[in-house]
Structure 1
């Protein structure tokens, strides 16, 4: 659903850029509360994983394909504020290096693909986990539902933006119907990927999943007709080296999976246009589309300039993209984490008479 240059007029694109910058600023502050020394590297990996999976367009019928948006996945794994930043990093790398998503439309793309999907998904997710039993299965099911709803919500948000600043005169009702309809189908794929990924991480390290915190409900006994909590025995914490090795193993496995998906599996992705491209062509939205400002990038269109072998060119571009995204993302999230540590009060700053 990457919006290219020329779909939205300059004034609305500029306003969207300001709104997106504000959302990123708010997310940077909010991410300080979500990130710690373990989850900062995980957030960088989540961004790289989203980049990799977005290269895997899957068919949804009628000559149309779809790909992961990633807002739900990021919000559930690392938190909603950090999730907005994860998807924003991916969109920035795609726009600058791979000419995917217009540069003048970057604010629109961040607003739709990062903010809308993350916020909608996390609101749905939190609402479901509050009413469902506190189990791993309920978290995974809630992730499925949240991801499914977030994709057509993003499609509706695009239609709203187009209604305000679209560059062509098209029937908005038919655009909304087509966009939401095809993105419901894409949402099923998004939901499956999100649920499988969240379930896999919960199975090995539930403590690292933001949406699964407090997963285990306290045991209760009936005493004199009333249910009371059973005092939980303090579990022996895992030795620090063991916990560090476990986290490192998860991160390496995730990075290896991302490289495999982007470098090898992406070659077999569907070549059909994605949902927005298909609707744009059918409804005439793309009548005034413009060439991408980074069309001459050596990595444009997810290929390496000068390499004639399509498999090698696309695979190497995918590997480069994963590498750049994980480095950029991890650097940003470590800086946010460090800022949180710097802002924390030191013992010397606490008044002596403080309670």
Structure 2
């Protein structure tokens, strides 16, 4: 759902930029509380993983594809404030390096794809885990529902922004119906990816999942045909349980997805592109300012083999996003430590 330049007029794009900047500023402050010894090593990896998975467009209807937005996944794994920053980093890298999502529309994209999805998903997620049994399974179920709802909510907010600052006169009721309809289908894919990813992390390192803290159930053993609580055991302190192996595995997975699996992604236009073409509000799309980037359109200029060009671009994107995200989050983490030391 990357909004290109030309969809939204300059004044509304500027206001959206102010909103996005304010959200990032608030998130930087809030992330200081979230980026502890468990979340800090994971945050940069989450951004890189979301970048990789966003390259995997999946078919949702005839001639239409969708991809992960990632707000729900990021918020559940590393917290809502850090989640907004993760999506902002991903969108910034995509816009500058890959000409994906307009630069003048960056504020719109951060607001719609980052802030809205994170706020809606995390609010719904927290509400569900409060009423569901306090188990790890509840975390995965809640993540599915939260991710599913966040995508059409984002589409509805985009339609609202377009109603205020759209550059083409189109019937907004039809746009809203089409956007919410196709993005509900995309939300099913988003929900499945989010649930599977959260479930996988919870299964191996529940201590690293921000949304799963305090929700683990006691281990059960089957004795004489009956389930009983396993004897309590002392776990190593969090600081002693190095996330290194998990981090390396996550990086390897992101590189594999972006460098190899992305070649098999659907080539159909995504939900926003399809609706824009069908309803006619793509007439004023402007050429991206980074259209001449060596990595524009997720390919490496000068490499004619499509598989190699796309795969190499994906690997570069994962590496740059990982480096920028990790550096930014560790800087926030150090700021937290410095502030704590001064208190």
Task: Give the TM-score of the pair, scaled to structure 1.
Answer: 0.91
Give 1:243 deviation, angstroms: 1.1
Matches of residues 48-59 of structure 1 in structure 2 within 5 Å?
48-59=48-59
- The RMSD of aligned alpha carbons is 1.6
Give 1:217 deviation, angstroms: 5.9
Aligned to 1:344: 340
Q: Per-residue displacement from partner, 1:106-151 (whole Å, max 9, x unpaired)?
A: 0000000000000000000000000000011111000000000000
Aligned to 1:7: 7
Quick check: 1:280 aligned with 2:272? no
Give 1:62 deviation, angstroms: 1.5
Aligned to 1:299: 295
Give 1:345 deviation, angstroms: 3.9
Return 196-205 or 36-45, whichever deviates more: 36-45
Aligned to 1:197: 197
Aligned to 1:185: 185
Q: Per-residue displacement from partner, 1:131-189 (whole Å, max 9, x unpaired)?
A: 00001111100000000000000000000000000000000000000000000000000
Structure 1 or 2, whichever has the larger Rg, is: 1
Matched residue SS, 1:60: strand
Matches of residues 257-272 of structure 1 in structure 2 within 5 Å?
257-272=253-268
Distance of 1:101 and 1:239 partners within structure 2: 43
Aligned to 1:116: 116
Matched residue SS, 2:59: strand
Report the CA distance shift for 1:315/1:218 in structure 2 as closer, same or farther (over 3 A).
closer
Distance of 1:271 and 1:61 partners within structure 2: 13
Aligned to 1:39: 39
Quick check: 1:150 aligned with 2:146? no
| Over 4 Å off, 4+ runs | 239-242
Distance of 1:309 and 1:123 partners within structure 2: 45
Report the CA distance shift for 1:251/1:170 in structure 2 as closer, same or farther (over 3 A).
same
Give 1:237 deviation, angstroms: 3.6
Matches of residues 202-241 of structure 1 in structure 2 within 5 Å?
202-216=202-216, 235-238=233-236
Report the CA distance shift for 1:241/1:117 in structure 2 as closer, same or farther (over 3 A).
closer
Aligned to 2:226: none
Q: Per-residue displacement from partner, 1:76-118 (whole Å, max 9, x unpaired)?
A: 0000000000000000000000000000000000000000000
Structure 1 gaps of 5+ residues are: 220-232, 350-355
Task: Give the TM-score of the pair, scaled to structure 2.
Answer: 0.94
Structure 2 gaps of 5+ residues are: 220-230
Matched residue SS, 2:241: helix
Give 1:235 deviation, angstroms: 4.6
From 220, 240, 243, the counterpart of 2:241: 243
Give 1:242 deviation, angstroms: 5.7
Q: Per-residue displacement from partner, 1:15-62 (whole Å, max 9, x unpaired)?
A: 100110000000000000000133212000000000000000000012
Matched residue SS, 2:273: helix
Distance of 2:12 and 2:261 partners within structure 1: 37
Distance of 1:234 and 1:104 partners within structure 2: 56
Aligned to 1:315: 311
Distance of 2:237 and 2:143 partners within structure 1: 31
